[in-house]
């Protein structure tokens, strides 16, 4: 079969392979010879005694003699004695081992050039297995060696460059997780790395192992690593390594895939300096409080938050009264100390979400967030003033300090911080001019309202302690039979100066500040005590209605309170009816529902008070465990002539009847109202027509002896 003897296009000639093989067998020594002659690497054959048997032209050139001059001679005839000895030893090593042996040999060529050869020496046998000698083949690797030397030298140069560099240097292998670089293995680091970080012997270790707690999961870092790993240009960033307590400026890049170089500078000092400058720019160095600049920025954020959340905020401008006097009479040091101590006290009084700043001199500002009522600001102003009342001990002297406070509210008193501050300042001026040691709102009506409320609150506290409350009772009437079916307990405040105060004057405040919980518990206990007393005196009274306020249900333990009142006075649960306002029931939803169910399970009856004023969901109403709806007085008022009131009342009665609930109309004052309601199927009522709320002794004339 013809074979391809040349691949140069257009000059292809074909030879018969069979012919070639035959020729080769006939004349194998001549074919081998031309093969060996052609190989560009020196090839030679020596007998076991080191005598050359054959060699190719390349070997002749190496030795610098022709074939005839070499054959029959040994290396001693051409090389220096020590080299000839070396070659001989290597020949023998291959012969003794009876296998190929390689080594590198420097040989000086006839023109005096020293060249490096990689030599392989192999024992050679004839067809009969008789040892012929050692076959040697050598390759000139001088150029390769020189290149290697160059690389080594440049590596050494770089190495020494990195080692002498002042920047820390780390060469790492990137470790990926889900395609994202997550950790690194140190391949090498320089001396500056060790000196600056204090980390020694890191080579071969993971970064996460060497620097515990380091977070390679910071999204910003991951993004940078991702970009450089994807072949992006070098990037620089600043990072704080908390466990080392150091800041670094780091340049990173990937010289080849998965290889990562980080060159860094320790910038902890610079960062500390920057932080210090920032602190000085934003904080007051005397008190450590934020300064005007800082509070301006915070107020901007607070206003944005208030807009989002639909809340308001207050700016309280606080100015220490007579501070100048302390400064003038006792020196600046005492003044400074007083400011520091006062700032500390004020700071301890504000909530975490609020801010206190020093504006300069003895002026401080509180930024109060999340305000739902303006009263909150008044309450805070009052408590800030109170906290300053205790004397300040400075330099062995007691100093008494008060403060004047001006309050501006967002959004009512201004839409931006500058307006709010200037209005709070105006209010402060008013507080000062009204005699100091007080607060003023920017709007005078607010000041009046808040002051009144605070006074009332203090009064109410005292009233509870002094037991200034009394319970009045109003008859509940059966409209059909004209008999009394029970009474409603209604609290009054026997005020030492104002006389008898109606619930409208204090119940809303007591509900807002939580005092209704103890007050309501007292009313319930008193009503139960009164009922027990009437029963014990032989009066028959079927039912006692007591009002239960929302906060008593969700802030107090209504169930325990009711159980205890009944138990204390030995009353059956069914004689008690608790009135809960419609608004509370609908606002509280499921949590209110649970408690009402438990009360109902106890055996007490439940009524929805002031029905029609809230926004009842009929489906919810249907599920509620209630017995009675009390139609609010507002609808009874216009009966029977007001068409709207009549329509609403009629609808409530119809709905109550269809839900199987009792219905009671409040505020019946005329016979016409009674007749109309009775005619429409409302069988219960309460109102001045039958009797006003009255003292227990007055009510007794309505009671029937058993
Ligand atoms: P309420 O529970 O709806 O009580 C009925 C109110 O209507 C009583 O007012 C009563 O005096 C008044 N009233 C009754 N009949 C008539 C009438 O024919 N004409 C007019 N104009 N008014 C009538 P009062 O006693 O001033 O109580 C007002 C509200 O204060 C009560 O409304 C109740 O919500 C609350 N309240 C009273 N005592 C307590 C209490 O001990 N605890 C709680 N949580 N709230 C109470
Ligand atoms: Mg009531
Ligand atoms: Mg009512």
Reported as a pLDDT band with limits 50, 70 and 90, residue 240 is: confident
Asked if pLDDT for residue 23 goes beyond 80, the answer is no
pLDDT at 454 over 90: no
Measured in degrees and rounded to the nearest 5, phi and psi for residue 590 equal -60, -40
- Structurally, the chain folds into a number of domains equal to 4
For atom 33 of ligand 1, which residue has the closest CA?
547
| pLDDT > 90: percent of the chain | 58
Q: Are 264 and 334 in contact (CB under 8 A)?
A: no
User: Are 503 and 624 within one domain?
Assistant: yes
Rounded-to-5 percentages of helix, strand, coil across the chain: 45, 25, 25
Residue 48 confidence (pLDDT) above 80: yes
- State the pLDDT confidence band at 175, using cuts at 50, 70 and 90: confident
Atom 29 of ligand 1, residue of closest alpha carbon = 503
Asked if the model's pLDDT at residue 421 lies above 70, the reply is: yes
Average the pLDDT over each of 72-86, 611-625, 633-647, 676-690 and give the range with the smallest value. 611-625
- Say which CATH number the domain at 178 has: 3.30.450.20
**Range from 83-97, 149-163, 526-540 carrying the lowest mean pLDDT:** 149-163
Q: Is residue 409 part of a domain?
A: yes
Mean pLDDT of the region 514-521:
91
Choose between 454 and 95: higher pLDDT: 95
Q: How many A from CA of 492 to the centre of ligand 1?
A: 10
Ligand 2 centroid – CA 548 distance (Å): 8
User: In the numeric block, which tokens belong to residue 86?
Assistant: 């070396």
Per-residue model confidence (pLDDT) at position 434: 83
- Is the CB–ligand 1 distance for residue 688 below 6 Å? yes
Residue 538 lies in a domain: yes
Distance between CA atoms of 296 and 308, rounded to whole angstroms?
19
Q: Is 450 within the bounds of a domain?
A: no
Among 162-176, 250-264, 606-620, which is the least confidently predicted range? Answer: 606-620
Domain that holds residue 432: 286-442
pTM of the full structure: 0.55
The token pair at 502 is 């109606």
Last residue of a domain, one of 412, 442, 472: 442
Domain boundary among 270, 294, 328: 270
Mean pLDDT to the nearest integer, 22-26: 53
Cα(563) to ligand 1 centroid in Å equals 24
pLDDT given for residue 22 in this prediction: 56
pLDDT at 665 over 80: yes
Given phi > 0 = left and psi -120 to 50 = alpha, else beta, which region is 437? Answer: left
Claim to verify: residue 646 and residue 519 sit in the same structural domain: yes
Same domain flag for 338 and 211? no
Mean pLDDT, residues 398-404: 89
Q: Where are the alpha helices (DSSP H) in 555-632?
A: 558-569, 582-588, 590-602, 618-623
The residue whose CB lies within 8 Å of the most ligand 1 atoms, and thus the one to mutate among 471, 474, 547, is 547
How many C-beta atoms lie closer than 10 Å to residue 668's C-beta?
A: 28
Question: How does DSSP assign 515-568, residue by residue?
Answer: THHHHHHHHHHHHHHHHHHHHHTTEE---EEEEE-HHHHHTS-HHHHHHHHHHH
Dihedral angle over CA of 480, 486, 489, 490, nearest 10:
10
Same domain, 515 and 594: yes
What is the domain-level CATH number for residue 383?
3.30.70.270
Q: Is residue 226 part of a domain?
A: yes
Tokens of 511: 């509900």
Residues 421 and 306 in one domain: yes
Round the average pLDDT of the chain to a whole number and report it: 88
User: Is residue 616's pLDDT more than 90?
Assistant: no
Q: What CATH number does the domain containing 622 carry?
A: 3.20.20.450
357/241 same-domain check: no
Please work out whether the CB of residue 633 comes within 6 Å of at least one atom of ligand 1: yes
Whether ligand 1 lies within 6 angstroms of the CB of 507 is answered as yes
Mean pLDDT (whole number) for 359-387: 91
For residue 582, the model assigns a pLDDT of 81
Find the ligand nearest to 507 CA. 1
pLDDT at res. 112: 80
Q: Is any atom of ligand 1 closer than 6 Å to the C-beta of 181?
A: no
Residue 452 counted as domain residue: no
Mean pLDDT for 646-673 is 94
- Taking 60 as the threshold, does the pLDDT of residue 21 lie above it? no
pLDDT band at 279 (very low <50, low <70, confident <90, very high): confident
Local confidence band at 451 (pLDDT 50, 70, 90 cut-offs) = confident
Q: Which residues surround ligand 3, an ion (CB under 5 A)?
A: 609-610, 666
CA-proximal residue: ligand 1, atom 35 (nearest): 503
Same domain, 486 and 423: no
Q: Which residues pair with 483 in a beta bridge?
A: 478
Asked whether 408 and 423 are in contact (CB, 8 A), the reply is yes
CA atoms within 13 Å, Cβ hemisphere of 16: 4
Dihedral sign from CA coordinates of 381, 387, 389, 395: negative
Evaluate whether residue 276 is within a structural domain.
Answer: no
Looking at 378, 411, 442, the residue that finishes a domain is 442
CB of 511 sitting under 6 A from ligand 1: no
**Statement to judge: residues 497 and 599 lie in one domain:** yes
Q: How confident is the model at residue 452 (pLDDT cuts 50, 70, 90)?
A: confident
What's residue 26's pLDDT? Answer: 55
Q: What is the structure's pLDDT at 559?
A: 92
Same domain for 477 and 571? yes
- Indicate whether 298 and 423 sit together in one domain: yes
Question: Does 398 score more than 60 pLDDT?
Answer: yes
What tokens does 334 get? Answer: 């005492």
* Whole-number pLDDT of residue 573: 96
425 and 527 fall within a common domain: no
Distance 619 CA to ligand 3 centre (A): 22
Q: What is the pLDDT of residue 10?
A: 36
Residues 637 and 599 in one domain: yes
Residue 567 lies in a domain: yes
Task: Please indicate, yes or no, if residue 290 is contained in any of the structural domains.
Answer: yes
Identify the pLDDT of residue 323.
86
Residues 6+ apart with CB under 8 A from 667: 632, 633, 634, 636, 637, 686, 687, 688
């Amino acid at each position: 079969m013809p074979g391809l003897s040349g691949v140069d296009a257009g000059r292809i000639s074909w030879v018969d392979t069979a012919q070639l093989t035959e020729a080769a067998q006939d004349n194998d020594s001549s074919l081998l010879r031309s093969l060996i002659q052609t190989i560009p690497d020196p090839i030679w054959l020596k007998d076991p005694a080191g005598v050359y048997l054959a060699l190719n032209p390349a070997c002749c050139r190496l030795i610098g003699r022709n074939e005839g001059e070499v054959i029959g001679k040994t290396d001693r005839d051409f090389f220096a004695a020590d080299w000839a000895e070396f070659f001989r030893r290597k020949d023998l090593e291959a012969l003794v081992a009876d296998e190929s042996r390689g080594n590198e040999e420097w040989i000086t060529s006839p023109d005096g050039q020293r060249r490096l050869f990689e030599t392989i020496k192999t024992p050679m046998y004839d067809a009969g297995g008789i040892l012929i000698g050692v076959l040697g083949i050598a390759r000139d690797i001088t150029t390769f060696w020189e290149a290697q030397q160059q690389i080594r030298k440049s590596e050494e140069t770089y190495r020494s460059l990195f080692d002498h560099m002042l920047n820390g240097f780390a060469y790492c292998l990137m470790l990926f997780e889900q395609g994202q670089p997550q950790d690194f293995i140190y391949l090498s680091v320089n001396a500056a790395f060790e000196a600056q970080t204090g980390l020694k012997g890191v080579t071969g270790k993971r970064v996460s192992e060497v620097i515990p707690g380091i977070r390679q999961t910071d999204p910003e870092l991951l993004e940078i690593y991702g970009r450089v790993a994807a072949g992006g240009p070098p990037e620089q960033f600043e990072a704080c390594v908390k466990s080392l307590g150091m800041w670094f400026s780091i340049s990173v890049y990937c010289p080849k895939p998965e290889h990562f170089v980080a060159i860094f500078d320790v910038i902890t000092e610079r960062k500390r300096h920057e932080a210090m400058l920032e602190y000085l720019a934003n904080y007051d160095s005397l008190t450590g409080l934020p300064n005007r600049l800082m509070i301006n920025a915070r107020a901007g954020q607070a206003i944005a938050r208030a807009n989002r959340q639909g809340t308001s905020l207050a700016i309280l401008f606080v100015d220490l009264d007579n501070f100048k006097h302390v400064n003038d009479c006792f020196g600046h040091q005492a003044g400074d100390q007083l400011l520091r101590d006062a700032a500390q006290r004020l700071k301890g009084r504000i909530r975490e979400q609020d801010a206190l700043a020093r504006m300069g001199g003895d002026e401080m500002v509180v930024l109060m967030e999340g305000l739902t009522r303006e009263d909150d600001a008044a309450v805070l102003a009052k408590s800030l003033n109170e906290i300053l009342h205790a004397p300040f001990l400075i330099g062995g002297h007691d100093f008494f300090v008060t403060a004047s406070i001006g309050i501006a509210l967002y959004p009512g008193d201004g839409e931006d911080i500058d307006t709010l501050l200037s209005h709070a300042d105006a209010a402060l001026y008013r507080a000062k001019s009204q005699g100091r040691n007080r607060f003023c709102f920017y709007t005078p009506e607010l000041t009046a309202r808040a002051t009144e409320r605070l006074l009332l609150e203090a009064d109410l506290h005292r009233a509870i302690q002094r037991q200034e409350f009394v319970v009045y009772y109003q008859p509940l009437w059966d409209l059909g039979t004209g008999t009394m079916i029970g009474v409603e307990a209604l609290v009054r405040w026997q005020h030492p100066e104002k006389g008898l105060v109606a619930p409208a004057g204090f119940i809303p405040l007591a509900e807002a500040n939580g005092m209704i919980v103890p007050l309501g518990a007292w009313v319930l206990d008193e009503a139960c005590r009164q009922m027990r007393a009437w029963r014990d005196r032989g009066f028959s009274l079927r039912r006692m209605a007591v009002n239960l306020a929302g906060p008593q249900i969700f802030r107090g333990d209504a169930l325990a309170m009711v159980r205890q009142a009944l138990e204390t006075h030995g009353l059956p649960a069914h004689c008690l009816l608790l009135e809960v306002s419609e608004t509370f029931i609908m606002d509280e939803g499921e949590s209110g529902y649970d408690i009402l169910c438990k009360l109902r399970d106890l055996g007490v009856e439940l009524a929805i008070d002031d029905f029609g004023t809230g926004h009842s969901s009929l489906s919810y109403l249907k599920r509620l465990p209630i017995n009675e709806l009390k139609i609010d007085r507002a609808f009874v008022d216009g009966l029977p002539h007001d068409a709207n009131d009549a329509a609403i009342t009629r609808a409530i009665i119809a709905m109550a009847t269809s839900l199987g609930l009792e219905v009671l109309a409040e505020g019946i004052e005329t016979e016409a109202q009674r007749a109309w309601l009775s005619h429409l199927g409302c069988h219960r009522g309460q109102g001045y027509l039958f009797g006003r709320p009255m003292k227990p002794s007055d009510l007794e004339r309505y009671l029937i002896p058993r």
